[in-house]
Amino acid sequence: MAKLSLEELRALRKKESQRIEKRDIHGRDIHVVVGMGTCGIQAGAKVTLNSIVDEIEAKGLKNVIVTQAGCQGKCDQEPVVEVYTPQLGAVAYGKVDAKLAKQIVDEHIIAGKVLSDHKISLEV
């Protein structure tokens, strides 16, 4: 590693603070939960999860927490993704593939619009 100039240090700090910000959970009010029970993983929840995380990163969203949960009982609808936002409350989506996952980030989280065609009820 070569010695830094002032500009290089500032650029490095900017880059690194973006990396470390992901660990900071303060002030995040949007919560995405991906069902990762055996059924969910079998149906491709891992691909879905990666797609969501990548899209959030690509769009530079800083107020979202993505976590995983076990099976929610809707095994036929897996992969299931649940999104909590302060405006829309909790909304669940079924059969979420990588493409739909991206759509959820762009339309539900960013634009604040529920994707009614894919919405499911989690009541069993």
Partner 1 sequence: MGFKNYILVCGGTGCESSKSDQIYKNLIEEAAAQGVSDQVQVIKTGCFGFCEQGPIVKVLPEDSFYVKVKPEDAKELISEHVIKGREVTRLLYSKAPKKPLEKVEDIQFYQKQIRVVLRNCGVIDPENIDDYIANDGYVALEKALFEMSEDDIINEMKLSGLRGRGGAGFPTWMKWNFTKQAEGDVKYVVCNADEGDPGAYMDRSTLEGDPHSVLEAMTICGKAIGAHQGFIYIRAEYPLAIHRLEVAMKQAREYGLLGKDILGSGFDYDIEIRLGAGAFVCGEETALLQSIEGHRGMPQPRPPFPASKGLWGKPTVINNVETWANVPVIIAKGGAEFAKIGTPDSRGTKVFALTGKVCNSGLVEVPMGTTLREIVFDIGGGIANGRKFKAVQTGGPSGGVITEENLDTPIDFGGLQRIGSMMGSGGMIVMDDSDCIVDVAKFYLEFTRDESCGKCFPCRIGGKSLYNLLDKITIGNGTEEDLEELKTIAHAMQKGSLCALGQTAPNPVLSTLRYFPEEYEAHIKDKKCPAGKCKKLIRYQIDPNRCIGCTACSRKCPVGAISGELKKPHTINQSACIKCGVCRQTCKFSAITVE
The residues that touch partner 1, with contacts defined as CB under 8 A, are 1-6, 9-10, 12-13, 16-17, 19-20, 22-23, 25-26, 28, 31, 33-34, 36-37, 49-50, 53-54, 56-57, 65-70
One-letter identity of residue 1: M
Of the pair 22, 113, the CB lying nearest partner 1 is at: 22
- Min dist CB 117 to partner 1, Å, is 26
The answer to whether residues 56 and 110 touch, using CB atoms and an 8 Å cutoff, is no
How far is Cα 40 from Cα 78, in angstroms, rounded to an integer?
A: 5
Of the pair 12, 110, the CB lying nearest partner 1 is at: 12
What Rg value do the Cα atoms of the chain yield, rounded?
Answer: 17
Measured in residues, the chain has a length of: 124
- Min dist CB 89 to partner 1, Å, is 13
